[in-house]
A and B are shown apart, each in its own frame.
Chain A
Amino acid sequence: MIKKFKVSVMIMYFFLLLVFAFMLIPFVWLIISSFRPNADLFNAPFAIPEKLSFENYIAVFQSHPMLLYFGNSVAIAFLVTVITIFAAVMASYACIHRFRVKPGILLLFSLGLFIPTNAFMVPYYVLINRIGLYDNILGIALVYAGINFPMSFMVIKGYMDTIPAELKEAACIDGAKARQVLMKVILPISVPGIVTACVFIVINSWNELLFANLLNQSDKSRTIQVAIRSFLTTFEANYAYAFAAMVVTILPTIIIYALLTDKIIGGMTAGSVKG
């Protein structure tokens, strides 16, 4: 019995480490390759680099305004989060009450959950152009807000639904105004749900490429994802530069993640399972 147990534990460890290796080795390879000259990548892909060469990194920073791209991505993530959370919290708060057209409203909001928004390429493109926000981070942010709203609404509403009714009623009876009830009672309790929605929104908008690419023309609204996409063509197949550029783009997110890992993983799920 004891021996059998050990074998199964070994199999488990073996499997866990195997998956672990599959996940991690590509990144290790990427980082090592980014310090090597392009010619070496072709001739001796596995030789250990003789010395760390920052040449690739210097070239990347000289040819691309990487910090601007970062700024754009962060600004978009920020704007999307603010717009979406604002709309979702307000709507969720209204929806914990009963009113006549509520089923219709809920249906309207949840409709978006079932629609693959990438089908809206042309409509979004035409729309953003018409309101003059083409090649503008605000245009991209608005589209993301639209895309992310249904999910955020569902997460936040799902969380607010779990708030005991007595609490809400008690606040109302005290004569508090709707706004005060929201700010003082509902909002503080809903923080975990809101954080979950925030993490989802930030990850989604940070990752998005399709609309960021479609609605972008110049550097001023280029996100880091669109920039990565153009690396291959602009570096004329200099893979070493492309590797360095990729490390530059993923490093900050990994650092932020490393610092806040528990909060992100915790936040990711606090609201999602309940809802």
Chain B
Amino acid sequence: MKKRQYSIYLAPAIILTLVFYIFPLLYLCYVSLFQWDGLGPMKFVSTQNFQKVLADRVFQSAFKNTLIWILSALFLHIPLGIVLALMLSRKPKGWKLMRIMYFVPNVISTTAIAFLWYFIFHVDVGLINNVLKAVGLGNLAHPWLNSLDTALISSQIPFILYVGLTMVIFLTQLSTIPESLYEAAEVDGANGLKRDFYISLPLMKPAIATNILLNTAFCLRNFEYPFLMTGGGPANKTTNLSLYIYRQMINANKYGVSMAAGVITVIMGFCIMYSVSLIGKERKGKTYD
């Protein structure tokens, strides 16, 4: 390949990256130093926007909630995916059907799912409260999405529960493990859980790394669940960084503040994703190559 050819082949990708990553990054850093309502002229305010954002209780809560989302991915969503994948890898009766059905929520949009669960948790027409009332536990009925103690976890339930994609990635990894390994282990008397712990789990590391990366990325950009299920409420208990940026821009018309929050989000996201990918690389290095 000649020099000129490389540039032709790389051109579309470079244009996309420049337009959708480099330009926005520079623009974000630049305009975050201005006060701007989106309509009128911009006014240079130096780092005032950053000071405002960092001192804003709502932003602090949004930052914390985004971290909680990532933790729920690491300690609830992914472990559930692992458990289900290990169970299905035993090929119990109907495992194919289950694999298909577990994946269904992933082809339905997040928007529809968030909306559906909004109704499931609804105080009056909601499925959960009505089931509770039907079985005589009406006193446990609760405004799940509207009370301080349950709002955040309730808005995370659909994400934690719908592990289809995560599970399928694990299953694919499991299917690459040669049967002979298991047979050898069986001779040594390793059955059931032992087999999972000592053979399957260590060999699933690359898939775990992939899933951590995918799910962390999802939690960082997650917008639909808080936006549709709780609107960030009650009292900002469920606001996350995406929603904070959105609200500052669209509702408060504080474009500068919104972009300062954006800069902080980019820095935070970059650090988290980079460290996650380092873990992934290390693990991959051990099992592959």
Instruction: Give me the interface of A with B, judged by CB distance under 8 Å.
Output: 5, 8-9, 12-13, 15-16, 19-20, 22-27, 29-30, 41-42, 45-46, 83-84, 86-88, 90-91, 93-94, 97, 99, 105, 108-109, 111-127, 142-143, 145-147, 149-150, 153, 178, 203, 206-207, 209-210, 214, 224-225, 228-229, 231-232, 239, 242-243, 246, 249-250, 253-254, 256-257, 261, 264-265, 268-270, 272-273
* 22 A–B contacts from the bound complex (CB under 8 Å): A16-B84, A23-B104, A83-B16, A88-B13, A90-B11, A91-B9, A115-B21, A116-B220, A116-B269, A118-B221, A118-B242, A119-B245, A119-B263, A122-B249, A147-B20, A209-B227, A239-B119, A242-B115, A253-B109, A264-B103, A272-B172, A273-B210
B107 touches which of A19, A153, A254 (Cβ 8 Å): A254
Interface residues of A, dominant DSSP: helix
Contact (A273, B207) CB under 8 Å given A209-B227, A225-B111, A249-B109: yes
Contact B19 A115 (CB under 8 A): no
Contact (A153, B108) CB under 8 Å given A12-B92, A16-B84, A26-B120: no
B242 neighbours in A (Cβ, 8 Å): 116, 118, 210
Contact with A along B212-253 (1 / 0, CB 8 A): 000001001101100110000000000001100110011000
B98 neighbours in A (Cβ, 8 Å): 16, 20
B17 touches which of A45, A108, A242 (Cβ 8 Å): A108
Contact B6 A94 (CB under 8 A): yes
Q: How far is the CA of A268 from the CA of B168 in the complex (A)?
A: 8
A8 neighbours in B (Cβ, 8 Å): 192
Q: How far is the CA of A47 from the CA of B14 in the complex (A)?
A: 59
CB-CB contacts below 8 Å: B116-143 with A: 116-117, 119-120, 124-125, 127, 130, 134
Contact A149 B16 (CB under 8 A): yes
B8, chain A: closest CB distance, angstroms: 8
Contact (A16, B92) CB under 8 Å given A46-B130, A86-B12, A121-B262: yes
Contact with A along B142-176 (1 / 0, CB 8 A): 00000000000000000001100100110111001
Instruction: Give me the interface of B with A, judged by CB distance under 8 Å.
Output: 1, 3, 5-6, 9-17, 19-25, 27-28, 31, 80, 83-84, 87-88, 90, 92, 98-112, 115-117, 119-120, 124-125, 127, 130, 134, 161-162, 165, 168-169, 171-173, 176, 192, 206-207, 210, 217, 220-221, 223-224, 227-228, 241-242, 245-246, 249-250, 255, 258-259, 261-263, 265-266, 269-270, 273-274, 277
Contact B12 A91 (CB under 8 A): yes
Most buried by B among A121, A178, A203, A228: A121
Contact A265 B99 (CB under 8 A): yes
Contacts A91-B10, A112-B20, A146-B20 aside, 9 further interface pairs with beta carbons under 8 A come to A12-B92, A45-B127, A46-B134, A116-B221, A116-B242, A127-B24, A225-B112, A231-B115, A265-B100
Contact B223 A210 (CB under 8 A): yes
Contact (A115, B224) CB under 8 Å given A254-B108, A273-B169: no
Contact A115 B5 (CB under 8 A): no
A207 neighbours in B (Cβ, 8 Å): 109-111, 224
B192 neighbours in A (Cβ, 8 Å): 5, 8
B209, chain A: closest CB distance, angstroms: 10
Q: How far is the CA of A83 from the CA of B80 in the complex (A)?
A: 35
Contact A114 B115 (CB under 8 A): no
Contact B270 A257 (CB under 8 A): no
Which partner residue on chain B sits nearest A105 by CB separation? B10
